[in-house]
Amino acid sequence: MAALVLGLASPASPEPLITESLNLFGTPGLLQMPSAEMQEDAQITASVTRIGDQMRNTLTFQIAPRVTGSFRYSRFTGYYADGDDLFDRSFDLKFQLLDEGQYRPAVAVGLQDFLGTGIYSGEYIVATKSVLPNLRVSAGLGWGGLAKYGGLGFSDAVRDAYVPGEEGGDLNAGSWFKGDAAVFGGISWQASDRLTLKAEYSTAGYDDEAGNTFIEPESAWNFGVDYRVRDNVHVQAAYLRGSEMAVQLSFSANPRKPAAGAANENAPLPVGGRPARRSDPDAWSQDWAADSTSAPAIRRVLSKAMAKEGVTLESLAVSGTRAEVRYRNNRYGAEPQAIGRTARIMTRALPASVETFVLVPVSNGVPRSKVTLKRSDLEALEQAPSSAILARARVEDAAGPAPANLVAADGQYPRFTWSVSPSVTFSAFDPDEPVRGQLGVQFAAQYDISPGLVLSGAIVQKLAGNIEDSDQTSNSVLQHVRSDAALYAAEGETAISHLTLAHYGRPGPDLYSRLTAGLLEPMFAGVSGEVLWKPVDSRLAFGAEVNWVKQRDYDQQFSFLDYEVVTGHASAYYAFGNGFHGTLDVGRYLAGDWGATLAIDREFANGWRIGAYVTKTDVTAEEFGEGSYDKGIRITVPLSYFNGKPTRAASSTVLRSLSRDGGAKLSVNGRLYETVREAHEPDLEASWGRFWR
Partner 1 sequence: MMKQMTLTRAFLALPLALTLALAGCGNDPNRGAGNTLLKDITQVLRKTVSKGDNKGGAQTDAQVAQLVPLALKRVKGSALLALLNDGKQVAVLGEQENRAGYMTYTTTERQTLTLRGGIITSSRGLGGDLMSSSVDETARLVRARSAGQGQRVMRFLTGDWQEVGLSFACRVSRDQAETIPTATRGNVQTQRMIEICRSTSGGTTFTNIYWVSGGGTIWQSRQWLGNDNGYIAVSLLRP
SS3 51: strand
The residue from 379, 410, 622, 674 that contacts partner 1 (CB under 8 A) is: 379
Q: Which stretch binds partner 1 (CB under 8 A): 10-18, 285-293, 492-500, 675-683?
A: 285-293
Q: Can you tell me the distance from the alpha carbon of 610 to that of 548, in angstroms, rounded to the nearest whole number?
A: 31
Round to whole Å and give the CA distance between 37 and 60: 13
Q: How many CB atoms lie within 10 A of CB 318?
A: 24
Q: Which stretch binds partner 1 (CB under 8 A): 346-354, 479-487, 505-513, 585-593?
A: 346-354
- DSSP per-residue string spanning 624-668: H-TTSSEEEEEEEEETHHHH-S----EEEEEEESSP-STT-----
- Residues in region 601-660 near partner 1 by CB under 8 A: 604-606, 644
User: Cβ of residue 354: shortest distance to partner 1, in angstroms?
Assistant: 10
- Residue 279 engages partner 1 in binding (rule: CB under 8 A): no
Residue 30 and residue 67: Cα distance in Å, rounded? Answer: 18
- Residues numbered 497 to 536 that lie near partner 1 (CB under 8 A) are none
Give how far Cα 418 sits from Cα of 186, 448, 536, 651, Å.
60, 11, 32, 20
Least separation in angstroms between residue 320's CB and partner 1 is 12
Say if CB 511 and CB 532 are below 8 A apart.
yes
CB of 380 to partner 1, least distance (A): 8
Q: How do 370-374 and 394-396 pair as beta strands? A: antiparallel
The verdict on 256 binding partner 1 (CB under 8 A) reads: yes
Q: How far apart are CA 639 and CA 80, in angstroms?
A: 43
User: Is residue 9 a contact point for partner 1 (CB under 8 A)?
Assistant: no
Specify whether the CB–CB gap between 42 and 256 falls below 8 A.
yes
Shortest CB 355 distance to partner 1, Å: 15
Q: How many residues bind partner 1 (CB under 8 A)?
A: 53
Part in contact with partner 1 (CB under 8 A); list of ranges 82-90, 286-294, 311-319, 569-577: 286-294
**Cβ-based nearer residue to partner 1, 254 or 479:** 254
DSSP secondary structure letter of residue 101: -
| The one among 65, 205, 217, 268 contacting partner 1 by CB under 8 A | 268
Q: Cβ 29 to partner 1, closest distance in Å? A: 27
3-state secondary structure 385-437: CHHHHHHHCEEECCCCCCCCCCEECCCCCCEEEEEEEEEEEEEEEECCEEEEE
Contacting partner 1 (CB under 8 A), which of 242, 272, 582, 592?
272
**Min CB(604)–partner 1 separation in Å:** 5
Calculate the dihedral angle through the C-alpha atoms of 528, 653, 84, 162, rounding to the nearest 10 degrees.
-80
Choose one: 135-143, 402-410, 563-571, 683-691; the region binding partner 1 (CB under 8 A).
683-691
Site for partner 1 in 189-248 (CB under 8 A): none
DSSP codes, 467-527:
GGG-------SS--SSTTHHHHHHH-SEEEEEEEEEEEEEEETTEEEEEEEEEEETTEEEE
DSSP for residue 115: B
Using the rule CB under 8 A, is 351 a contact of partner 1? yes
Applying CB under 8 A, does 393 fall inside the site for partner 1? no
Q: Does 340 bind partner 1 (CB under 8 A)?
A: no
**322 interacts with partner 1 by CB under 8 A:** no
Please, which residue, 21 or 353, has the CB nearer to partner 1? Answer: 353
Residue placing its CB nearer to partner 1 in the complex, 325 or 664: 325
What does the alpha-carbon distance between residue 156 and residue 142 come to, in Å, rounded to a whole number? 15
Distances, alpha carbon 416 to alpha carbons 308, 444, 447, 517, 533, in Å: 20, 11, 5, 19, 30
Q: Of these, 243, 387, 405, 461, which contacts partner 1 (CB under 8 A)?
A: 387
Closest distance of CB 561 from partner 1, Å:
46
Residue 318 Cβ, how far from partner 1 at the closest point, in Å?
11
> Given the rule CB under 8 A, which of 154-162, 289-297, 438-446, 567-575 is the region that contacts partner 1?
289-297
Q: Which is nearer to partner 1, 352 or 591 (CB)?
A: 352
Interaction residues for partner 1, span 167-196 (CB under 8 A): none
Q: Please, are residues 104 and 35 in contact by the beta-carbon 8 Å criterion?
A: no
- DSSP 8-state code for residue 5: H
- C-alpha span between 316 and 409 (Å, rounded): 7
Minimum CB distance to partner 1, residue 576 (Å): 16
Residue 287 is a binding residue for partner 1 (CB under 8 A): yes
Cα–Cα distance for residue pair 33/656, rounded to 1 Å: 27
Dist. CA 107–CA 98, nearest whole Å: 5
Query: Which range of residues in 46-54, 176-184, 377-385, 441-449 is near partner 1 by CB under 8 A?
Result: 377-385
Residues that bind partner 1 (CB under 8 A): 254-258, 261-273, 282-283, 285, 287-288, 291, 293-294, 297-298, 301, 305, 334, 348-349, 351-352, 379-380, 382-387, 604-606, 644, 687-690, 692-693
